[in-house]
């Protein structure tokens, strides 16, 4: 049986920071990223691709508001918006992955799976929204939108602007993990856990499954999936080639390799902000602790290269 790699696409795999997000830009970026995964396929990995949806679901929410204010089109709840983004982004990755494979002698099926993620309705995250979604705004714009829509905004840790934030509960389980595992074990490339999955919870008494207004962090949800299916490697793709401490300071330093204890020490010391590198480090730590396998945080241009990125290993 081939090895399994879970590859979590960051937002930059679809949309670069200096772009407005046209479909042409997103498709080109997606194809470029998918082509980087060919090396993993050639090196004997079956792969699962997960992805973020922050800019896309934010735009869907804006369309929600515009459609209601101008045409009285009923607003859709956040879980439906997440599902919409899963379908659209999943389709785009699926098609561009097929295009990347068509340039090789490889033969793989590619399938996108709409994915629900189980959360706890009593998670304290619902009392403290922290997950950024949508575009960046000036402070004055954010204040106006907050008043008009009862939204919550917070300033980006890297001072790029203000973004809407929503609750981000901890992922407990990936609902269709068995189907995903079966597909990848048969050699199919699977796209799953889009945007962290659609958050749902179970009523304790009836076991009725219900959606909840939230966004699950895609790196933490990807880690849950990678652990559940016992992946051999977990890649987290972001916009930097390596993790740094003292980020954006004169004494900034890149990290080539960390064991779990070192990674957790830096995490506990506040080196990795919650809205940026923090969830990626925590996702990697949890994967390595449970499986004993390696997690790699790197940029899409580096994936597949020998000794790429920051490697997190067991103590």
In tens, the pLDDT along 9-43 reads 987 788 887 888 899 999 999 999 999 999 999 99
pLDDT of 258 above 80:
yes
Residue 4 CB neighbours (<10 A): 21
Give the pLDDT confidence score for residue 273 in this predicted structure. Answer: 87
28 is catalytic: no
Kindly report the pTM of this predicted structure: 0.92
8 A C-beta contact, residue 312 and residue 295: yes
Q: Which of 54, 218, 278, 293 is labelled catalytic?
A: 218
Give the lowest-confidence range in 9-13, 47-51, 159-163: 9-13
User: Which one of 29, 90, 131, 194 is the catalytic residue?
Assistant: 131
Find the catalytic residue in 10, 12, 58, 242. Answer: 12
Stretch 100-107: mean pLDDT: 97
Domains plus CATH for the chain?
3-116+173-313 (3.40.1160.10)
Catalytic residue among 36, 164, 181, 280: 280
Exactly one of 10, 11, 90, 195 is catalytic; name it.
11
Catalytic site includes residue 150: no
11 given a catalytic annotation:
yes
What lies within 8 Å, CB to CB, of 304 at 6+ separation is: 36, 37, 38, 39, 40, 43
* pLDDT tens per residue, range 282-300: 999 999 999 999 999 999 8
Residue 55: other Cβ atoms inside 10 A = 20
pLDDT per position as a tens digit, 169-217: 999 999 999 999 999 999 999 999 999 999 999 999 999 999 998 999 9
Q: What is the 3-state secondary structure (H, E, C) of 178-217?
A: HHHHHHHHCCCEEECCHHHCEEEEECCCCCCEEECCCCCC
């Amino acid at each position: 049986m081939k090895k399994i790699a879970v590859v979590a696409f960051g937002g930059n795999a679809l949309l670069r920071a200096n772009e407005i997000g046209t479909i042409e830009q997103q498709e080109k970026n997606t194809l470029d990223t998918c082509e980087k995964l060919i090396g993993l396929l050639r090196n004997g990995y079956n792969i699962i691709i997960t992805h973020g949806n922050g800019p896309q679901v934010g735009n869907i929410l804006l369309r929600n508001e515009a459609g209601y204010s101008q045409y009285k089109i009923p607003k859709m709840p956040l879980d439906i918006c997440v599902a919409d983004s899963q379908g659209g982004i999943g389709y785009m990755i699926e098609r561009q992955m097929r295009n990347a494979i068509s340039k090789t002698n490889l033969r793989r099926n590619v399938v996108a799976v709409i994915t629900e993620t189980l959360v706890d309705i009593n998670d304290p995250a619902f009392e403290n929204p922290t997950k950024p979604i949508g575009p960046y705004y000036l402070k004055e714009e954010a204040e106006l939108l907050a008043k008009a829509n009862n939204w919550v905004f917070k300033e980006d840790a890297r001072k790029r602007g203000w973004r809407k934030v929503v609750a981000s509960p901890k992922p407990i389980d990936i609902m269709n993990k068995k189907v995903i595992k079966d597909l990848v074990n048969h050699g199919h490339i699977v796209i799953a856990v889009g945007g962290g999955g659609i958050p749902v919870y179970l009523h304790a008494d009836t076991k009725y499954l219900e959606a909840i207004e939230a966004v699950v962090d895609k790196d933490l949800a990807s880690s849950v999936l990678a652990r559940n299916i016992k992946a051999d490697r977990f890649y987290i793709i972001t916009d930097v080639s390596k993790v740094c401490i003292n980020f954006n300071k004169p004494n900034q330093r890149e990290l080539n390799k960390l064991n779990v204890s070192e990674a957790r020490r830096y995490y506990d010391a506040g080196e990795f902000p919650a809205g940026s590198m923090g969830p990626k480090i925590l996702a990697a730590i949890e994967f390595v602790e449970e499986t004993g396998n390696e997690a790699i945080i790197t940029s899409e241009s580096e994936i597949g290269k020998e000794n790429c990125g920051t490697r997190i290993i067991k103590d």
